[in-house]
Structure 1
């Protein structure tokens, strides 16, 4: 539980590379997320090129942090293989959370930048990355060694807890 409590969104990164082995370990964690019917509808686009990251920051108004991140991962869904329509959103959210948790566990910082369901962002990423028609960009996660350490916050709120009924 300590990693769940300690994980925070990090938007400032050190100018330090993230190894390919570390990136693969993070993607491995993403691929171990639960999915409806074990469908595993995800694909991952890894971005390291600086000019690509700068263009992404132009496309996504809340992702300026991608410019200083040494790597970014875009979680995508393959709608052509969906057996349970609509559940791909939950599947990709679980994969995104696994990326955040594994990155934190490895001493890295990361932040979840939503792409889906904003249609303009989805279409902009489709065009920029050359995604096939059945592939939907879901989230963007800039990742790197943190240049900031946001404090922990206890987010437990008993007033949001209900037993048996509302």
Structure 2
């Protein structure tokens, strides 16, 4: 199995990270690789906002309907984890914004983040994709853009987290023949 295929098969979202911020060289390498990827209309109309400030992350969470916890007993989850705790465990939150025809760039932003997840793995950085404009960013898009100082011509489209894992246990590949059906 080649290295890229192995990375793809073993890629898993991580929701618990060490408290260490990403090393500057790791963050810049991941962002640089992301900048090199183009969107579906091939105009590379991206703006990246990497947030490492916990106060700003909390304000982002408060503005975000998906993360906002209205009561202390909210039990909404992502992969069985309480979403109110996810932001606390991320060392770097990345918001990918796009310009132009949002119809195409919104899907491309999530694809881009997926590619950046694979790139991050090369540096020992793990990640989790958290959501899109529709599920997370649309409701308070203007306030989020102001908080994150996103240029006016860009729209927040995708958000995810990066960090160093607490436990780097190897993931076992499970082959399930029952999940594939070929109709000829």
TM normalised by structure 1 equals 0.79
Distance 1:63 1:8 in 2: 20
TM normalised by structure 2 equals 0.73
Is there any run of 5+ residues in structure 2 with no aligned partner, and where? Answer: 68-82
Q: Sort the Cα spacing of 1:33 and 1:94 in 2 relative to 1 into closer, same or farther, 3 A.
A: farther
What displacement does 1:29 show? 2.0
Is there any run of 5+ residues in structure 1 with no aligned partner, and where? Answer: none
Number of equivalenced pairs: 160
- Tell me the equivalent position of 1:30: 34
- Tell me the equivalent position of 1:71: 92
Kindly report which structure 2 residues correspond to 1:6-155, keeping only aligned pairs within 5 A, or say none.
6-60=10-64, 61=67, 62=83, 64-79=85-100, 82=101, 86-118=103-135, 119-148=138-167, 151-152=171-172, 154=174
Distance 1:125 1:158 in 2: 43
Q: Sort the Cα spacing of 1:108 and 1:124 in 2 relative to 1 into closer, same or farther, 3 A.
A: same
- The answer to whether the Cα contact below 8 Å between 1:12 and 1:147 also exists between their aligned partners in 2 is yes
What is the alpha-carbon root mean square deviation over aligned residues?
Answer: 2.6
- The answer to whether the Cα contact below 8 Å between 2:106 and 2:158 also exists between their aligned partners in 1 is no
